[in-house]
Amino acid sequence: MDSVVELPCPICLAEGKLMMRAHSAEIPYFGEHTQVTLLCDECGWRQTDFIPADGAKPGGWSICIGDISVLSARIVRSSSCTVCIPELDLEVNPGTSNAGYVTNVEGLLVRFAEVVELVSRDLLEDGGDDAVDRCQELSDRISALKNGDFSEEIHVVLLDPRGHSQILHENAVPRELTGKELARLPVGADPAIFSPDEI
């Protein structure tokens, strides 16, 4: 369902250019989810989130990348989820332009590798040799995982204060978030929710 939202774009403030798309679908093993995307035809801003039909409580998921089957493990990441690979000291927190997405572990590794490459290029321009070496090491370790080298125990961890994120694999481990984690975890921008009177 596409609807024009009668509110200005939160970025460029253009009137009448904000579109909301909502799509509900059954995601195997996750249940019914609604994907809500807001996008501005004027400036290109977009925000996507996945909202489960059933209630959710804050939670975390983790999985050890220990064999080739784990690379295809399905990941549903909401815009409120922090994704980390602790052994590589990599973490992505929710932010104002953060979007939810569905991918797999390999796709998540590709996302991290792309960011490491981007940072490495910026550092090369600034002449930070030690940091460039660290980026190359991270890139090599991520490539090794994608290529089936599981000699190092590496985990993917999802921490979601809103409980909308999951990992689908028989070896994925769910858990509740601690009070300390809930206090320190960012939740990103509040999802744009409109009443029927505003649409």
**Domain residue limits, the chain:** 2-184
Cross-strand pairs, 59: 160, 176
172 contacts 75 by C-beta, under 8 angstroms: no
| CB-based contact 85:136 (threshold 8 Å) | no
pLDDT band at 177, cuts 50/70/90? very high
The confidence score (pLDDT) of residue 85 equals 96
Confidence (pTM): 0.71
What is the dotted CATH code of the domain comprising 2-184?
Answer: 2.60.120.1040
Number of neighbours of residue 121 by Cβ within 10 angstroms: 11
* Residue range 163-176: mean pLDDT, rounded: 92
What is the arithmetic mean of pLDDT over 46-53?
A: 76
DSSP strand E in 41-165: where?
46-52, 59-64, 74-77, 82-85, 90-92, 101-104, 155-160
